[in-house]
Structures are given as C-alpha cells and as structure tokens.
Amino acid sequence: MDTNKTLDNFIKTFVPKDKRERSEVQLKNEKNRSKFTDRLNHKWDTILDMRFVTRIPVGVNDYEYTKKELKIAANELCYVISNHHDIDGAIDEFSKAFDKVYGRGFGSLVITISGDKFYLETELVQGKQNRFIGKVK
C-alpha cells in the first residue's frame, strides 16, 4: 500500500497551497512528523483548508455521523496520522481506526486511503473534545 500517495492526495485536497510543501516535508519525514501532528491539537485550522472541514454536531453518535456524512464503509481502509506514536502511521479498517483514535485526548486524523475524506479529533482541553469531518463539498 502506497501511503505516500494517500498523503499526497490528502495534502493536495485539504492543505492550503502555502502550507503544502512544509506539511509534505513534515509528514513524510519521521524526525519532523511530530511538528505536523502537534499542530493537530491546537492549530488544526492553520494547516487545514477550513472550507472543507465541518464540526460534528453535539448530541450525535460521532461514529455513525462520520460514516454517514463521509459515505464510508466500516471496513474501508484508512490511514492514521496521530499525536499518539503507538497508532501514528497505522493502516486499518475505518471502524478499527476510529476506535483507536476516539476519545484519546490528542490530535488524530483518520484518512481514507484515497486521501479525499477524513475524521479529525483534536486535543481535549476543557469540555467536549473538538471533532470534525473533512470532505470536498
């Protein structure tokens, strides 16, 4: 499985042009990767094109909402980018990847292998954790 292709499409689709080169260097270099994953905690809105990002409404089942809105199957393969080193870089079925990142308290992305949809969870600071989906509308 070519994760570079996934990252390339994700960056091209969801990262603003002026941030693409830096994001690519960080995501594809193990030493610099944490610079990108750290920004998933508090500065996700500076590295993602917010035109394509939607906050998950309060009071819904986050998993079911994400599956429905992204039209993603539970067994669809996904790639994980996470501030949690034990799951960062994992490739797994959506349902399993979602379970790995959900409620862990730090920034994580679950990206479809095609790189055209994602689920984002940010760091828990106070109150409810920020959770988002991303897709080109």
Any residues with CB less than 8 A from the CB of 112 and at least 6 apart, and which?
6, 70, 72, 76, 77, 78, 79, 94, 118
Instruction: Report the pLDDT value the prediction gives residue 127, as an integer from 0 to 100.
Output: 64
**Domain limits, the chain:** 3-135
pLDDT in tens, 27-72: 999 899 999 999 888 888 999 999 999 999 989 999 999 999 999 9
Q: Mark 51-72 as b/e (b = at least 16 C-beta within 10 Å).
A: ebbeebeeeeebbebbbeebeb
- Please determine, for residue 126, whether its predicted confidence score (pLDDT) is greater than 70: no
pLDDT digit string, tens, across residues 11-22: 999 999 999 999
How high is the pLDDT of residue 104? 86
Residue 27 is predicted with a pLDDT of 94
Percent of the chain scoring above 90 in pLDDT? 77
Distance CA 56, CA 69 (A): 10
